Structure 1
Amino acid sequence: MAETTDLLVIGAGVFGLWTARAAARAGMRVILAEADIPGAGASGGLVGALTPHQPDRWRPFKQFQFDGLVTLGARAAELAAETGIDPGHARCGRITPLVDERSRERALAHSRAAREVWSGAAEFEVLDSVPQGAQGLIAPEAAPFGVVRDTLSGRIGPRALVEALAHSVSRMAQIRSGWRLRSLAARDGVARFDRGDISAGHVVLAAGWGCLDFLPASCLPEDGRSGPGVKGQAALLAARADPGAPVIQANGIYIVPHADGRIAVGSTSEKTWRADGPDARLDALVETAASLAPALRGAEVVERWAGIRPRAPGREPLVGPLPGAPRLVLATGGYKIGFSIAHLVGDAVCTMIAGHGRPSGLPDSFTPEAHGLRAEERRI
């Protein structure tokens, strides 16, 4: 006979952990099931950069992430006070070098747009030279046309955040590590694991890039849209930096000084790959980062990491009930922005399963229907 609970969350990455925490705090009986251990997937990486989208062509998706960046600091502080574990959050800003006149002109246009849509909550400005706090993290020759500085960006310690969230959830709910999902009867709210069956009033599928594997093929998009995973590689270097130094973003690379003074570098974005682990592409990424940042030259690589980041079929995050199966809520696709919005996604999912409808701030572009997922005619 299946065990019963109010809410079953499948996947203990940041989406699943924030959702389980929100639901447990709302008084629901929650079981959080994870195939490995919390943060075993993309949420357990090294980089933790928190950077906004460009402020032009503003739309609900960008507003949602903006709201996440603005509110995450308070949520991280609350979590640290509750658990005694510092998630390593800092709104330290970001510096982006400008390499030609065209990039400078675009940056000036973005600066004007930011003054309008960011409403004074953060600054976006173009500087003629690398500011003092970023010296050593950008070689002057890498920014011949100045730099962009924004104060909305920041960083968080991925593993510290996962540890703090798991500690918080474990006080109010059950975390079951090593529970591997075998099948899912979405309309019935029954999940079959290798260790037993669980029947829940609602099921939240937050298992990262593997989420769509548990849905019938007839539910999935037919138009060949991208998804579900992108391989990312990163490295942690023993180079020292002021933990209040800004995030550097250049040439698709992030250089992130963390709270312990060490520096993370990442990441690749590989839609196809031969092996899941770190490889020569990471070596090339570290070399490129060192050419940008004098502080990284000759630094010891403390850890090499690779993981598969979830990218939903419609490219934006995928959050909401599966068509034809309202007891199953999907929460995945936080590719590149997952840490900045996961707490808001958790709140939104909790609101929906409590029967209060879809929150007004959750973009319609996040719905399964917007991603091309369809109702299943046969039993799901």
Structure 2
Amino acid sequence: DVADASGHDPGYVRSGRLQPIADAAALELARAREDTAKELWQDNARWTVTDTPTSKFRPHSPTGYWIHDTLSALIHPRQGCRALVEALVGKGVTIETEASDQGPTLWATGAAGLAALGEGRQRMVGTGIKGQAALLAYDARNAPQIFAGGLHVIPHGDGTVAVGSTTERIYDSPDTTDAALDQIIDTARTLVPTLRQAPVIERWAGLRPRARSRAPILGHWPGRPGHYIANGGFKIGFGMAPLIAEVMADLLLEGCDRIPAGFRVEDSL
């Protein structure tokens, strides 16, 4: 719908995911999960243990077996944001980078917002966790994404591959890349041999907001009538953002509270 409304490709594709199986115990567990996936996913997606993945863009597997699921999807973050903005503008929404707080105000302000929410409180509400990632020039479009050795390798439709990321609680600079990213790149090239000669075309670092509870923080900002919070998503926030947006829009505009237990602001204070 966003692509149709904006005329821009958000880079969404449900291309699945490959995971190498490390040892005999992991192989037994993976095969058991085939039955669980059939029950939970029904005919919508498959979880398969295979020794002959169809994609040549794949990680090395110590056992010679891989998990291939067709549930996983990916999106190009920058293309997705651009498409969303253009879709909203096309529907008459005005987007301003600076504006006064008028009417119900939702604060989705990341690590800085967690710090503001925690001011004057005895316990830390959350903090920013640094992540570093890189973009490589390699065309593996439509190949399954890869998860191996704790690393995500994401082939985008524009002929690039994203690899990442670090999880750093201690750092000198929140938005500067360093040797930690070099290690990520080296690991990706070791795990996925086809990337060994792929040049790095961009390096990125930034903070992800991690709530103390590790769950998103949603709801009214205590002591600030008319102000609301959507924060703390950390690693799952990007995937959950569409549903979080629906829940918070219902709360702000209709007064309908559908925030799940465990996600409420008071759960993190």
Could you tell me the TM-score, scaled by structure 1's length? 0.66
Q: Which has the higher contact order (CA 8 A, sep 6+)?
A: 1
Asked if structure 2 preserves the Cα contact closer than 8 Å seen for 1:232 and 1:268, the reply is yes
Asked if structure 2 preserves the Cα contact closer than 8 Å seen for 1:130 and 1:143, the reply is no
Q: Which residues of structure 2 form unaligned runs of 5+?
A: none
Select the residue among 89, 93, 106 that pairs with 1:204. 106
Select the residue among 230, 248, 257 that pairs with 1:358. 257
- The reply on whether 1:369 has 2:266 as its aligned counterpart is yes
Q: Which amino acid is 1:214 matched to?
A: A
1:257-276 alignment, distance < 5 Å: 257-276=155-174
Partner of 2:16: 93
Partner of 1:173: 93
Q: CA deviation at 1:281?
A: 0.9
Q: Which residues of structure 1 form unaligned runs of 5+?
A: 1-77, 180-195, 374-380
1:1-380 alignment, distance < 5 Å: 78-127=1-50, 129-133=51-55, 135-139=56-60, 142-171=61-90, 172-177=92-97, 179=98, 198-215=100-117, 217-218=119-120, 220=121, 222=123, 224=124, 227-241=126-140, 243-276=141-174, 277-359=176-258, 362-371=259-268, 373=269
Aligned to 1:155, the other structure's residue is in SS state: coil
For 2:42 and 2:224, the matched residues in 1 are separated by 40
Q: CA RMSD in A?
A: 2.0
Asked if structure 1 preserves the Cα contact closer than 8 Å seen for 2:18 and 2:58, the reply is no
Q: Which amino acid is 1:274 matched to?
A: D
Asked if structure 2 preserves the Cα contact closer than 8 Å seen for 1:233 and 1:282, the reply is yes
Partner of 1:49: none
Q: CA deviation at 1:324?
A: 4.2
Q: Which amino acid is 2:219 matched to?
A: G
Count of residue pairs brought into register by the alignment: 267
For 1:348 and 1:212, the matched residues in 2 are separated by 20
Could you tell me the TM-score, scaled by structure 2's length? 0.91
For 1:120 and 1:291, the matched residues in 2 are separated by 35
The percent of aligned pairs where both chains have the same amino acid is 37
For 1:216 and 1:367, the matched residues in 2 are separated by 15
Q: CA deviation at 1:305?
A: 0.9
